[in-house]
Amino acid sequence: MKKLSARRRHPLAALVVLLLALACTGGLYTAFAPADEAQAGTTAQSLAIDEGKKLYAVGCASCHGTGGQGTTDGPPLSGVGAAAVDFQVGTGRMPAQQPGAQIPKKKVIYSQAEIDQLAAFVASLGAGPTVPTEAQYNPEGADIAKGGELFRTNCAQCHNFTGKGGALTNGKYAPTLEDVDPKHLYEAMQTGPQNMPSFPDTTLTEKNKQDIIAYLDAVNSDDSESPGGLELGGLGPVSEGLFGWIFGLGGLIAVAVWVAARTAKAKKS
């Protein structure tokens, strides 16, 4: 130690101290490298927002306004959140072909990457529901029976008790829920698209939503089981009555005609 203190007045001492200090600072900086990544993340985020803004200006601004403030043709988008964009654009409802009572589901025209960019831009306009993660909407292990109960209390009035959809007023309707992606089901409940009321987590918890998705998955997908046989659209008495009148009564009439018809007669000789 004596040696070191003896050399403190060496002409190079200042340089050595400076180098040590620099190394320390560098080491500390490296140790806090995550700060670097965070910065990169923000950059990617702002890049996505920029890209989304460009897409928005082309595809959405004519109805929703250049800054998402809304026009007479489309509602304001501030606060609708990324989940609403992911649902509306991801199911092809947006961009709409024309304003009207109801914007129908159609072919999806944006790629998922573009949808994410649009969502990032719209989310930047005001805080709103975010796109759910798979852990949130995955129906695996959820309570199907509870889901059925919740569905009948909250959803069945418009969407029919097996989710086949139904009519509303003035040309509006509740669409069928057959084979809708679980993510989109979750987003629809969270955001309340078009005239559907929303069911935020305070009304219908995340677990409740999973139960409902699991119920729909069980009763309303291509391979759901229907032990009773032909569902006739699952619409209830209208289609069942029509089937009864046409095929039931029709069959009886056919048999009655057959019973009373003239039998083939021998040719007169």
Q: Site map for other proteins, 127-156, x if CB under 8 A?
A: -----------------------x--xx--
Read off the tokens for 250.
Answer: 């029709």
- Residues with Cβ within 8 Å of residue 47, at least 6 apart in sequence: none
Told to check if 62 binds other proteins by CB under 8 A, we report no
The alpha carbons of the chain give a radius of gyration, in whole angstroms, of 32
How far are the Cα atoms of 177, 250, 251, 261, 265 from residue 257, in angstroms, in the given order?
Answer: 43, 11, 10, 6, 17
Length of the chain: 269
Distance CA 32, CA 239 (A): 67
| DSSP 3-state of 30 | helix
From 25, 42, 45, 195, residue interacting with other proteins (rule: CB under 8 A): 195
| DSSP 3-state of 182 | helix
Told to check if 179 binds other proteins by CB under 8 A, we report no
Smallest gap, in angstroms, from Cβ of residue 252 to other proteins?
Answer: 12
Smallest gap, in angstroms, from Cβ of residue 161 to other proteins?
Answer: 11
- Binding window for other proteins (CB under 8 A); candidates: 52-60, 130-138, 164-172, 238-246: 164-172
From 6, 97, 225, 257, residue interacting with other proteins (rule: CB under 8 A): 225
End-to-end CA distance of the chain: 144
Told to check if 199 binds other proteins by CB under 8 A, we report yes
Told to check if 229 binds other proteins by CB under 8 A, we report yes
Told to check if 168 binds other proteins by CB under 8 A, we report yes
Told to check if 198 binds other proteins by CB under 8 A, we report yes
Environment class of residue 12 by beta-carbon count within 10 Å: exposed (0-12), middle (13-18) or buried (19+)? Answer: exposed
96 vs 108, which CB is nearer to other proteins? Answer: 96
Read off the tokens for 178.
Answer: 């057959």
By CB under 8 A, the residues from 236 to 255 that bind other proteins are: 255
Told to check if 228 binds other proteins by CB under 8 A, we report yes
Residue 266 neighbours by CB distance under 10 Å:
5
Told to check if 194 binds other proteins by CB under 8 A, we report yes
Told to check if 208 binds other proteins by CB under 8 A, we report yes
| DSSP 3-state of 167 | strand
| DSSP 3-state of 55 | helix
Told to check if 264 binds other proteins by CB under 8 A, we report yes
- Would you tell me which residues interact with other proteins (CB under 8 A)? 150, 153-154, 157-158, 166, 168-169, 172, 174, 192, 194-200, 202-205, 208, 223-231, 255, 258-259, 263-266, 268
